[in-house]
Structure 1
Amino acid sequence: MTSGFDEYESFFLYASDIAILLFLALLTMKEARWLPRIIGALPRAVMLGGALLLLAAGASLVVAPSLPLALYGFARLLFGVFFALGLAAAISGKHVPTAFFFGSLAVSGVFQALLAFLQFKAQGSVGLSLLGEPLLGPRIGGAAKIIVEGGALLRGYGTLPHPNVLAAFLLVAFLALSCFWLRRPGIKKIWHGGAPLRSDIVLGVTFFVLATGMALTFSRAGWLVAACATALLAVGAFFLKEYRIQAVRYVVLVVAMLMLLTSMLGWAIFPRATLSRGEPAVAYRLRYNDLGVELVKRNPLGVGIGNQVLYAVLRGRYFDLGMKERWQWQPVHNIYLLTAAEIGLLGALGFVVMLGAALWYGVSRFLYRGAERLEVVVATTTLLALLALGFADHYLWTLQSGRLLLWSVLGILVGLVLKKERMPS
């Protein structure tokens, strides 16, 4: 659309789309009326926020400079909503155990982390383009790098479009795996004929693989949010009496991993950990946020879903901010400003209300006794972590991998909330 080639300004059909359609078809075969059931059971605030989000996004089609791009963006939003509702229906209807989804996230995260390690070691792609691996190299333009002692080092991508997206995915996988660690009994045998020590080793190594992958993304926002989310999860689990011992052991494990990682990769981690307002990663984000504020002021009803970049290019907004190169024409790096810019203030309000209400119900469920309280804590913490990352990047709204992360976690949390006795709306 702007003579470039970016996922957020192009049309794609993904293999994950087919997988999601298959999942929804199987769910429909299992329970024909899952959709009206789950919509009718949604907490009122979640439903009203989601309805306002969809209405505003639909209305933004009228003002979009590119109707095809807006229709595609709206279809993607609807697809994400249906996926989240499907996950919620599968969990609340007990068609699929929550452990299956958490386990799938953890296993996928291990694969991505190992691939990131191989990419970092090779300083380039490892030949998995069929799985979505980008063409990578420290001298390839557009590849994300860090500078250490004057030399460029490629950051880990996995099969995802950017290291920051990989960091978010590995954080979700790490928190999902944490549920298995915390849920284990502290003294009883885990496997038939096995012992807790054996599972300690297996889970500990898996945690270390995920943590190493996270380190190799060199995503500072990912590191910060991961530290806060891990601490929050440990505190939440500690307040659940049956998981208190495992929560303490979890903290010991995480601290030990951090010490080991910094001893191995400190030469690259510590220079990257510094932050200044003048460096490009920060300066550009501030400029993109300025752009978002300006667009919202000029267009309180939005510029059309999926059209923020195109609109800003056509109106010369990037030029006004001194960004004249095509690679600088990127979305606003804040999903809350970005949604307000694209679908208007009412749409952004609906987005925030929907997500905030889901978090509120998650916290409320944590405060009440019942089954799967630990899973609720994990899902709530994970969603909160993603929303925190949304203040510093755009992928949760613009990229397929980011959207799937957001809608997956939201669907799991809503499913866990609805699996229990309904709270007053």
Structure 2
Amino acid sequence: MNTFWQTQAKRLFHNLDLFFFFGLLLTLPFSIRKVLINYPIAGGFNEYSGIYLYLSDIFAALTILSWLFILCNKYYILSIDNPHVIHKDNLWTKHYPQVILHNPLASVGLIFVLWSFSSFWWSENKPLSIFHSIKLLELYLLSIYITYRIVPRGTLLKDAFKLIVLGGVINSVLAIWQFAIQNSVGLNFLRESIISPDISGVAKVILDGQKMIRAYGFFPHPNILGGFLALSIILTLSYRKMFHPSTNVPPQYKCSTWNIILGRRGTSYGAGVEHSGKVDYFGKALVCLQLTALILTFSKSAILGLLIALLYIYVPSLCECSTWNIIPGKRPPASKPNGTLYDIKMKHISRNLLIIFFIVSALISIFPNIVNFKSQSLEERQLYANVSRGTITDHALLGVGNGNLVWSYPEYQNLESWQYQPVHNVFLLIWSELGIIGLFLFIYILYRLFHSDFNVPRLSVRRMFHPDTNVPRGTLYGAGVEHSKADGTIHRASMEQSKTIATASTSLTVRLFEGILLGFIFIMLFDHYLWDIQQGQLMLWVIFGLIAGQKLRSSDIISL
């Protein structure tokens, strides 16, 4: 008995960082924090001129520190799935430069963090600058942790998805409840926002001439709840197909675990129907619940961001999937095969339309007055954009310092205290605070995450979806079993074939996370919370780490 408990205690110690990481995901939606220092603006408290310690910050710090301790003391257990582990003897010598150079998030991200710290020298409020730079360092290290610790182990990714979806469901129930009673529920011990139609500064909409509060959940603003629900909805839709591929479909009917259309036995990807024909009512109910809460946030940027992400994930699969090639009689007569001139032109047209859409969105975000209709949100964004453009004009190269934009605002006599907010555009915000150099580094990180040198190579239809290849049930990346046409016996697939199938599945997983990031980029054109609010920051950098980890995994880069 003593041996059993000693073994369990040893396992717990060796995986202590995972418990802290899951604690971070559980506390992500909550605004449980301690205000350490606040610098008043316009004679009162301001959200953007304070120094805070969140409960999720504590879990993030414990996660990173315990992981580094495990690394430096060689407590990792080698496994077949993770044979290349960096230990104390070569962590900072042989392999570390390779880790940095082969990961754009690690290399460019480190330069970005160092530039943020350097802004201390020209910041007006130096404590604010140091605080925001330390926060950026924390997020950077967290993304590196996810890249090398969470992504290589599919079971950890599965558990992380569960916790994020759980947070989405809990906040959805609370959000619907708040909207129904038009007041706070009373969960003050969990730092639920105090909201009411009569409180100044509370986000409201006008319905039939009556003021109605927007749904908050546990978040400090409905827009942040909307962004989190967009993330959790996508993960809810993808969870079943990623981690529970069906085995009762003949191999020739399989395109991948991410099928869009599967003829008579399948349905649309993520719609909640397994290949066996059984309807996943529970999954559908979760999606409907979260969609309802998302609508009640009235967050236009989050709703449109969700649609953009889903289009990015679904449409290419519909066009590129080989279903029409492998299911007899299912291919439309007018369709064109992949690789033809028609196919290439259609992909370029889709990409160009997406680029045009983002350019128009960016122009509306930067110059809200170019549209003919008026709204309070657009007028407020115009005010913040004007102030930001003035700051950029005066400090174009270096910016005013990390976290110092609101602090540098002039005293507007007709501006209420709650209206002292950053510009509602992350790119303008970064330019204002970190200058054109900081903006370039941030955009370059985004570019490399979408166009990394380690993007998965395109595979032929036959290699990816050969009729003789079967994917075992319950695996994230599949691969490994081959059926012989001659006698029906089962062989171990070659390592090359296993790697090919795993690579194909990984590329589709990358597309999922890229779609989420694309939705976040759209949100960043119209809001700032993904850069300077705790929950938004964590969401953004978690996705950064997931994308980098999947791309490095597909390239067989060493894992920590």
Short-chain TM bin: 0.7 to 0.9
Q: Alignment length, in residue pairs? A: 385
Q: Match for residue 168 of structure 1?
A: 227
2:404 corresponds to which of 307, 313, 322: 307
SS in structure 2 at match of 1:13:
strand
Question: Which structure's residues are more often helix, by fraction?
Answer: 1
Please name the residue that 2:363 is paired with.
Answer: none
Higher relative contact order (CA 8 A, sep 6+): 1
CA distance in 2, matches of 1:97, 1:107: 15
Aligned to 2:295: 215
Q: Tell me, in whole angstroms, the C-alpha distance in 1 between the residues paired with 2:454 and 2:214.
A: 35
Displacement of 1:418 in angstroms is 1.4
Q: Could you tell me how far apart the structure 2 residues matched to 1:241 and 1:103 are?
A: 30
1:279-312, Cα deviation, whole Å (9 max, x unpaired): 1101111221222222111012110101100111
Between 103-112 and 367-376, the greater mean CA deviation after superposition? 367-376
Q: Distance in 2 between matches of 1:158 and 1:394?
A: 19
Equivalent residue, structure 2, for 1:289: 385
- What amino acid is aligned across from residue 225 of structure 1 in structure 2? G
Give the Cα–Cα distance (whole angstroms) in 1 for the partners of residues 97 and 215 of structure 2.
39
Q: Does 1:229 align with 2:326?
A: no
Structure 1 position 152 matched with structure 2 position 215: no
Moved more, 90-99 or 330-339: 90-99
Alignment CA distance shift 1:140-1:23 (3 Å): same
Counting only pairs closer than 5 Å after superposition, residues 310-349 of structure 1 correspond to structure 2 as 310-313=407-410, 316=411, 319=412, 323-349=414-440
Cα pair 1:174 1:207 within 8 Å, conserved: yes
Alignment partner, residue 6 of structure 1: 46
Question: Which amino acid is the alignment partner of residue 120 of structure 1?
Answer: F
C-alpha contact (below 8 Å) 1:57/1:74 kept by paired residues: yes
SS in 1 for 2:442: helix
Structure 2 matches for 1:361-400, cutoff 5 A? 361=452, 364-365=455-456, 367=458, 370=503, 371-400=505-534
Give SS of 2:212's match.
strand
326 and 367 in structure 1: CA distance in 2 versus 1, 3 angstrom threshold: farther
2: CA distance between counterparts of 1:400 and 1:243?
45
Matches of 2:325 and 2:393, distance apart in 1: 49
Q: Which amino acid in the other structure matches residue 547 of structure 2?
A: L
- Who is 1:140 aligned against? 199
State the partner residue of 2:489.
none
Give distance in 2, aligned partners of 1:196 and 1:215. Answer: 32
Q: Secondary structure at the match of 2:554?
A: coil
* Structure 1 contact 38–89 (Cα < 8 Å) conserved: no
* One of 517, 521, 537 as aligned partner of 1:403: 537
Give the direction of change, closer, same or farther, for the CA distance of 1:25–1:109 in structure 2 (3 Å limit): same
Match for residue 58 of structure 2 among 18, 38, 46: 18
Shift in alpha-carbon separation, 1:118–1:64, aligned structure 2, 3 A: same
In structure 1, runs of 5+ residues without a counterpart are 246-274
- Partners of 1:243 and 1:47 in 2: CA distance: 40
Alignment check: 8 A CA contact 1:366 1:377 kept: no
Q: Partner amino acid for 1:21?
A: A
Question: What's the counterpart of residue 254 of structure 1?
Answer: none
Cα distance in structure 1, aligned partners of 2:508 and 2:374? 42
Residues in 1 aligned to 2:324 and 2:51: alpha-carbon distance in whole angstroms:
46
TM alignment of 1:258-277, pairs within 5 A: 277=373
Once the two structures are TM-superposed, the CA of residue 408 in structure 1 deviates from its matched residue by: 0.9
Asked whether the equivalents of residues 289 and 332 of structure 1 are also in contact (C-alpha less than 8 Å), the reply is yes
1:126 aligns with 2:166: no
SS of the aligned residue for 1:344 comes to: helix
The two structures, once aligned, show a CA RMSD in angstroms of 2.9
The CA deviation at 1:11 is 1.3
Q: State how 1:89-128 maps to structure 2 within 5 Å.
A: 89-94=148-153, 97-128=156-187
The 1:86/1:48 distance shift into structure 2, 3 A limit, reads closer
Aligned equivalent of 1:262: none
SS of residue matched to 1:160: coil
* Aligned-pair CA distance for 1:38: 7.2
Distance 1:154 1:276 in 2: 26
Residues 94/303 of structure 1: CA separation in 2 closer, same or farther (3 Å cut): same
Q: Which amino acid aligns with 2:59?
A: A
Structure 1 residue identity aligned to 2:438: G
Structure 1 residues 152-209: Cα deviation after superposition (integer angstroms, max 9, x where no partner): 111111111110001100011111122224335467399xxx9955562111111111
Q: 1:130 to 1:188 in 2, by over 3 A?
A: farther
More off after superposition, 220-229 vs 360-369:
360-369
Cα deviation, residue 365, structure 1 = 3.1
Q: Does 1:356 align with 2:453?
A: no
Deviant stretches of 4+, over 6 Å:
242-245
How high is the TM-score relative to the length of structure 1? 0.82
Match among 24, 31, 41 for residue 99 of structure 2:
41
Unaligned runs of 5+ in 2: 1-38, 73-85, 250-256, 258-273, 327-370, 460-499
Query: CA offsets per residue over residues 185-240 of structure 1, 9 Å max, x none?
Result: 467399xxx99555621111111111111111111111112122112211244334
Identity of aligned residues (%): 26
Report the more deviating stretch, 28-37 or 345-354. 28-37
Q: Distance in 1 between matches of 2:408 and 2:316?
A: 44
Equivalent residue, structure 2, for 1:54: 113
Does the Cα contact within 8 Å between 1:362 and 1:417 map onto a contact in 2? no
Shift of 1:22: 2.9
> Which residue of the partner structure matches residue 204 of structure 1?
284
- Seen in structure 2, the aligned counterparts of structure 1 residues 30 and 209 have a Cα distance that, compared at 3 Å, is farther
The C-alpha deviation readout for 1:358-411, integer Å capped at 9, x for no partner, is 122399338466143332111111111111100101111111111111111111
Once structures 1 and 2 are overlaid, which stretch shifts more, 148-157 or 223-232? Answer: 223-232
Tell me if structure 2 keeps the 8 A contact 1:160–1:166: yes
Tell me if 1:178 matches 2:275.
no
TM superposition score normalised by structure 2: 0.63
Give the letter for the 1:226 counterpart: L
The whole-number CA distance in structure 2 between the counterparts of 1:220 and 1:366 is: 36
* Structure 2 residue identity aligned to 1:4: G
CA distance in 2 between counterparts of 1:187 and 1:422 reads 27
After superposition, the C-alpha distances for 1:43-82 in whole angstroms (9 at most, x for unaligned) are 4644443233223212211111111111111111111111
Counterpart pick for 1:88 among 147, 151, 156? 147
- SS class of match (2:311): helix
Would the alpha carbon gap of residues 212 and 367 (structure 1) be closer, same or farther in structure 2, given more than 3 Å must change? farther
